[in-house]
Amino acid sequence: MNESAPGRQVDMRVMAAIVASALFMQNLDSAAIITALPSMARDLGEEPARLGVAITSYLVSITVFIPLSGWVADRFGAKRVFMAAIAIFTCASILCGRSTGLGELVAARVFQGFGGAMMVPVARLLLLRRVSKEDMLSAMTWLTMPAMIGPISGPPLGGFLTDAFGWRSVFFINVPIGILGLGLVAWKIPDVPPGDPGPPDIKGLLLIGVALALLMFGIETVGRGVFPRWLPPACLAAGLAVGVLAVRHCRARARPAVDFSLLAIPTFNQATLAGSLFRGGAGAVPFLVPMLLQLGFGRSASEAGLVSFATALGAMAMKPLARPILRRFGFRAALVGNALFAAAGIAVCAAFSPAWPVMAIFLLLALGGLARSLQFTALNTLAFADVPQARLSAATSFFGTAQQLSPALGVVLATASLEASTALHGRHELLTADFSWAFVISALVVAASAPFFTRLRRDAGGEVSGHGGGRPGETGPAQPTSSVPRSKPANM
């Protein structure tokens, strides 16, 4: 898309804002439910840390079904699939709000994850197929900027709704948003005709789904005493074994469920693998902060939501700054330096105590939001900088799977850290010191991503960022800088 064509530029921005309604609804839901967890735990008779399964079950579900999203979008048309996904997500939200036990809630969240799996990657695909490299960074900024309203409004809205109407209203708020999104998509988004992607890789999808489900079940239940002690380790071992079979199967297929040959593209490789490490550590923070404020500091859900709002506010403030920063420093330098800065911001959270002024906590959380927002924008853009147009469906499915799995692992990392700390100290209740250890571990995981970003070339993604004299849009999305033949196996 050419910026010299004003009408077309407006269309791109309008379309990005509309498809971002899906991201807004998902992020609003994810941010609000975290603030409501303590109230949900009391109502359902569960331990607050154990309610993390309500988050991980959704994230695992969305991860399992995302590999199918690219094929479904090609087969039935991206707009049609996008609208159906919004409808499913909205209906599942109603079921979540009507749940009377943890089992019902988890089942509804799995159904909600299926809708999210078809919704978010297809939204990105709708946009990527219509922009050139010159507009890719702007498009990603426009796509993510409206979606950041979800995390901004989620914590305070979740807190106010929980205190005023109960935690069930946190899910019911998705209903008017979903209806509005459906109307806007039907009105403004152009139809995308279905294609012929060939038969789906059913065996690959089953292998990947089983592997992810076993791994996440094992991680989520290990050490909790809910199941026999041998079951979680057995699930972990079985998940790894099935995962190896899934990778081998996909690398041998012409049209695999997950196209691992995309990892031979350096920019996609680092944005996906090293980016997952960063997302895993950073994904623990939105879970830990509201829990610390309520359980450690004795704040109400509303107060915790208002303070947590600082992280998303900082993220919004970074959006207009991302393009100048990436043009000045390039993807490699920005990703390395910012990963370390973000890790330091998370580590500082370990020092939080009830004696800290609320404004000081607010400002530090806002700075952390700035750093994480820059990293996410850079990773989301770099991942597709060198991907050929014909392989965008496969790339969005692969990247979306990694993008959703990482926060699930982050929540598991947070809950495991909290439970390990309480077990080591021989108690069951959570104290402020337990959260400190969890923040330190999360910071170390985020910092561990920095060395991997140094493997990028200095001019990596230059056509997208304009760094180093690169001219964005010179080749367009169908002419990547680094093209890899489909049959070549990936270098893992």
Task: Report which of residues 423 and 336 the model is more confident about.
Answer: 336
CA distance 474 to 463: 7
- Residue 56 CB partners (closer than 8 Å, separation 6+): 216, 220, 408, 411, 412
- Residue 373 CB partners (closer than 8 Å, separation 6+): 148, 314, 315, 316, 317, 318, 319, 322
Work out the average pLDDT over 217-223: 68
pLDDT at 482 exceeding the cut of 90: no
pLDDT at 480 exceeding the cut of 90: no
Using a pLDDT cut of 90, give the percent of the chain over it: 32
pTM: 0.79
Give 220-224 contacts, CB < 8 A, sequence gap 24+.
220/52, 220/53, 220/56, 220/412, 220/415, 222/416, 223/416, 223/419, 223/420, 223/423, 224/50, 224/419
CA distance 219 to 255: 30
Q: How high does pLDDT run on average in the chain?
A: 82
Residue 425's pLDDT is what?
Answer: 81
CA distance 436 to 433: 5
Biggest CA pair distance of the chain: 66
Neighbours of 178 (CB within 10 A): 24
| Distance set, CA 164 to CA 31, 104, 157, 168, 169 (Å) | 17, 23, 10, 11, 9
Q: Is the separation of the CB atoms in 270 and 382 below 8 Å?
A: yes
Which of 243-247, 313-317, 363-367, 369-373 has the weakest average pLDDT? Answer: 313-317
pLDDT category at 11 given cuts 50, 70, 90 is low
pLDDT at 10 exceeding the cut of 60: no
Residue 472's pLDDT is what?
Answer: 43
Label residues 217-230 b or e (16+ Cβ within 10 Å = b).
bbbbbbeeeeeeee
Residue 223's pLDDT is what?
Answer: 57
Residue 287's pLDDT is what?
Answer: 82
Task: Report which of residues 9 and 231 the model is more confident about.
Answer: 231
Label residues 356-380 b or e (16+ Cβ within 10 Å = b).
eeeeebbebbbbbbbbbbbbbbbbb
* 122-139 residue pLDDT tens: 878 877 877 777 777 777
* 20-32 residue pLDDT tens: 777 778 777 777 7
pLDDT category at 363 given cuts 50, 70, 90 is very high
The token duo for 354 is 């009830």
Q: Report DSSP state, residue 460.
A: T
pLDDT at 55 exceeding the cut of 70: yes
Work out the average pLDDT over 340-348: 96
* 437-464 residue pLDDT tens: 999 999 999 999 999 999 999 989 888 8
* 86-103 residue pLDDT tens: 999 999 999 999 998 888
Residue 152's pLDDT is what?
Answer: 64
Q: Report DSSP state, residue 293.
A: I
Residue 41's pLDDT is what?
Answer: 85
CA distance 129 to 149: 25
- Residue 339 CB partners (closer than 8 Å, separation 6+): 278, 375, 446, 447, 449, 450, 453
| Distance set, CA 55 to CA 6, 33, 107, 209 (Å) | 42, 8, 12, 18
C-alpha closest to that of 200 among 465, 392, 397, 13: 397
| Distance set, CA 386 to CA 162, 275, 390, 471, 489 (Å) | 45, 16, 12, 14, 17
Q: Is the separation of the CB atoms in 1 and 129 below 8 Å?
A: no
pLDDT category at 116 given cuts 50, 70, 90 is confident
* 77-88 residue pLDDT tens: 888 999 999 999
